[in-house]
Amino acid sequence: MNGKELIKINENLKADRSLWDSQWQEIADNIVFRKASIVGKQTTGSKLTQKMYDSTATMAGEDLAAWIHGNLTSMGMEWFFLKTKGKEDNKDMQEALDECGERQFAAIRESNFAGEWLEALNDLVTFCTGGLYVEENEVTKPGFNGFNFISMPPGTYATMEGRDGRVQGIFREYELRAQEAFDRWGETVSDDVKKNVKLNPSAKHMFLHACFPKTWFGGKHKTQLEFASYNIDISKKIIMQVGGYDDFPFFIIPWRRESGESYGRGPGWTALPEVKTAHKVGELSLKEWALGIWPPVTMVENGVIGSVRQTPGGITVVRKDGDVKPWETGARYSDNRLKREDLQQTIREIFHMDKVKFLPPRDQMGQTTAYEVARRYQLSQQLLGPTHGNIVFHGLDRIVETTFNMMNRAGAFQDFAELLPVELKVEYESPLARAQKIQDIEAITNTIEAVAPIAEVKPDIMDNFKLDDTAVHVAKSLGYPAKLLNSEDERGELREARAKAEEKQQQLEQAALAAKAAKDAAGAAKDLPPEMAEMMR
C-alpha cells in the first residue's frame, strides 16, 4: 500500500466518526475543558474555561476515574496474576508464572502507566471511550528496555473492530516536532521536515500511524508479523516507516457500546443536558448576585443634581427625598440556588458519586459499624460490574497479555523459557475484582454454616461437597499465594504419611494394651489356687 491509499482510508473512517466528533466536542466544551480541540484546533496556552460556570461534572468525572484506578489497578498492590490454561496442577509452571508476573508488574509500575492509564480512564468516564497505546522504550541496552504508555484522546484516532468486537485496526493522527521526527526515521522523512530540522527544529508536523492485521486491505504488506504498521507524513502523503507487531498494541475501551457502533456511550453523554443547564444557571446566578449586591437605581427626571455616586462614602445630591432609589428586580436568588443544587446532585448521581463515595461523613463514622462500611463498599463494586467487564475484556486482558509477550520476546523471562505455557489466563486481585468473587465466598460460607448442624446428626452428608476443591477456591479468591498451596500430589503424600503414622500409633497402642492385658492376666494367675492356675495353663 502507498501513503495516498492509507490516508484515503483514514479520511473515510474520520467521515464515519464525524457525528461522534461533534458530540465529543460538546462534552469537552462543557465537562473536559482542557481537551477542547476535537473539532478544530485551539491555540496552545489559550483560555479554555470561558463557558465554565459549574465544575461539578468535571470533578465528578475525575473522582470516578480515580476511584476506578485505585480500586482496579492500584500501583500499591499487585492487581493481576498469571495462570496456566488447563494445567493448574503444574506447580513448577505456576511458580515460574508467579515470578514472571512479579517482574511484569514491577516493569509496569516503573513505567508511566499510572498517569497515562488514569488519563485514559478520564476519557472513558467523560467521553465514554478511552484509548491507550504501549511501546517499548528506546533501545539503549540489550534485552528489555521498559514500557512507554501513551493515552490517546478522542478525536485523534479512528477504529475498526474484529469479529470479537474488540478493536483490531486503528488509524491514529499525532503531532511531532521536526527534530523528533528526524531522530525517529532519519532520511526517510519529507523534505519539509528536513528543512525545518535545520531552520526550525521545534516546528510541528502531523503524522498518521496505521496498524491493522496483515491480512487486511489485500494482505500485501511488507511484514511477517501478525499486524502491519505504517507511519505516514500526512501533508506529503509519503510512508516513512513500514513495520509490524506480534501483538496489537492499542487498547480502546468503551463504557457501553450500542450494537453496530464503534465508540462508547455512558455518563458523560447522559449528564450533558444537566451540565449545560447547570452552567447556564450558574451564569444567571452570578448576574443575579451582582444585581443584589449592586442593584440598578431609578430616579425622577432631573431629580439628581450632578450624578449618582455609587461608591463607598459617595455623596449624591437630590432635589427631594425619594428621587433616587434602588430598583427591585423581583429575582429570588434562593430559588436559583436550590435549582442549582438539584442539578449538581443529579450530575453526581449520573457519575455514580452517591454510590462509590460509600464512606459516611466524619461526624457519622462512630454510628457506622465496620460491617456496614464493608457492605457499602461491596455494593459500590457490584454497581460497576458491567463496566468492569468492559474494562477487563477490551483493556486489561490485552494490556497484560501484550506486555507479557513484549517482555518475553525481549528475554526478560529467559530463565523460565522452558516452563512458560503457550496460553495464559489472567486473574485480577484488585479490590474491585475481588469484590466480584465475594458472592461465591459468601455462598460457600452460608452453605457450610447451614449444613453443619445436619452433619452432626448425619456426618456422611458432607460427602456431597468437594471440600478440598472448596478450600482451594476460597484461598485463591481471597488472594492466597499459589506457591504456598500444596499440589494434589503433595496433599496426597501428606495424607498418606499422616495415615501411616496414625496406623503405626494405633499398632503401638494396641501392642501396649495387649502387653498390659497379658501382664494383668499373669498377675491374676498367681493369686489363684494351684489347681485353677494349672487349669489356666
pTM: 0.76
DSSP for 493-519, please give it: HHHHHHHHHHHHHHHHHHHHHHHHHHH
Q: Tell me, what's the pLDDT at 233? A: 94
Q: Which three cell numbers stand for residue 378?
A: 461491596
Helices (H), 204-359: 267-293, 333-350, 353-356
- The DSSP secondary-structure symbol of 361 reads P
Other C-beta atoms closer than 10 Å to the C-beta of 207 total 21
Residue type, 306: G
> Cell 461491596 sits at which residue?
378
- CA 31 to CA 278: how far, in whole Å? 11
Q: Tell me, what's the pLDDT at 334? A: 63
- CA 350 to CA 256: how far, in whole Å? 14
> Cell 498469571 sits at which residue?
82
- CA 203 to CA 187: how far, in whole Å? 17
Q: Tell me, what's the pLDDT at 102? A: 92
Domain boundaries, the chain: 3-41+50-264, 270-371, 488-536
Q: In terms of DSSP bridges, do strands 324-326 and 238-245 run parallel, antiparallel, or are they unpaired?
A: unpaired
Residue 437 · residue 474 · CB < 8 Å = no
Residues of the chain with pLDDT under 50: 359-366, 370-371
- CA 384 to CA 69: how far, in whole Å? 13
Q: Tell me, what's the pLDDT at 339? A: 82
Q: Which three cell numbers stand for residue 15?
A: 467521515
